[in-house]
Amino acid sequence: MVIFSGIQPTGTKHLGNYIGGFLQYVAGQDRGDPSIYCIVDLHSITVEYDAAQLRERSYDLFALFIAAGLDPERSILFRQSDVKEHTELSWLLSSVIPLGELNRMHQFRDKSVQQREMVRSGLLFYPVLMAADVLAYRAHEVPVGEDQREHLEVMRGAARTFNARYGETLVVPEARIPQIGARVLDLQDPTRKMSTTGGTEQGTVYVLDESDVIRRKFKRAQTDSGREIVRADDKPGITNLIEILAVVRASDPAEIEREFEGRGYGDLKTTVGDEVAAWLTPVRERYHELRADEGALEERLAEGAERARAISGPVVADVRDAMGVGPARRSVGPAA
């Protein structure tokens, strides 16, 4: 089974990114053959950005990949812009993805409103490139957060339409969304997800925050009315804390509820803060070791890109051939 996922090198990665993305990626190393994870820097240029900062953040993200437990020997880790098959396939797929479907995407509508200078056409085309990212590797599984389900349906539809029109060429991928921690909420406003752009500073726990900062943010977390420590629709703050602790401990949320039965909200917030801080400390320390050597990071990125091209190149060649683009492939007969 081929596993593929990508993440943008924008913003400082927070606890929601780590639980919803990084943990899934690491787990995929034991199931994927291969597991492929991509720094999708080309997606980042669909909104306003700083060019020099983009390159630096790509190194930041790559170092964090490895610090979190991804092994460049076991997984294929690379930068999207280093593998030209992604952009070529996105153009080829534009022939099977309807414009109306792109216009209806929530991300396009939301982000286009935020554009000050202009709405970039790349923002509309974003789901097509995302489809190419996955379909170029004939990936069977895509670990994503709940908010990416809409994008998954676009790429699934593209694969089906392509296969129906040109013959069975592409794999229709399936989403893998974590049951617990799929949507980590802002600690100060638990009605919305944790975010580097739409969240609150004190409600966003960054993976690289110092331990004291993490503990302080959890101690100040907003909770709900009542006193029971249980998961419920009318208790988004407490539910969020219970699920975060369950992920950190790799346990069932029901066990957390039983442990804190009869105890106060303060005990829960302190415990979650202490355990999250301890959990992320080795990641933060390893990250700083890796990030100090950009030359070594660049070498590993180049190695990953070469491995990625070895897979995506033949797939794109199959797509071109099926579509009648370029010269026909010559069949090679048996050796004399």
Per-residue pLDDT of the chain (336 residues; tens, 9 = 90+): 999 999 999 878 999 999 988 998 999 998 999 999 999 999 999 888 899 999 999 999 999 999 999 999 999 999 999 999 999 999 999 999 999 888 888 766 666 656 666 678 888 899 999 999 999 999 999 988 767 788 899 999 999 999 999 999 999 999 988 666 668 999 999 989 998 877 899 999 999 999 999 999 999 999 998 889 999 999 999 999 999 999 999 999 999 999 999 999 999 999 999 999 999 999 999 999 999 999 999 999 999 999 999 999 999 999 999 999 999 876 544 443
Contact between residue 37 and residue 5 where contact means Cβ atoms under 8 Å apart: yes
Architecture of the domain defined by 211-289: Orthogonal Bundle (1.10)
Closest by Cα among 275, 282, 272, 280 to 209: 280
Q: Which fold has domain 3-181+296-323?
A: Rossmann fold (3.40.50)
d(CA 21, CA 4): 11
Structure tokens at 274: 């202490």
C-alpha pair distances (Å), 263 with each of 255, 266, 303: 14, 8, 52
| Gap between the Cα atoms of 75 and 71, Å rounded | 6
- CA 154 – CA 232 distance, rounded (Å): 32
Parse the chain into domains and list their residue ranges: 3-181+296-323, 211-289
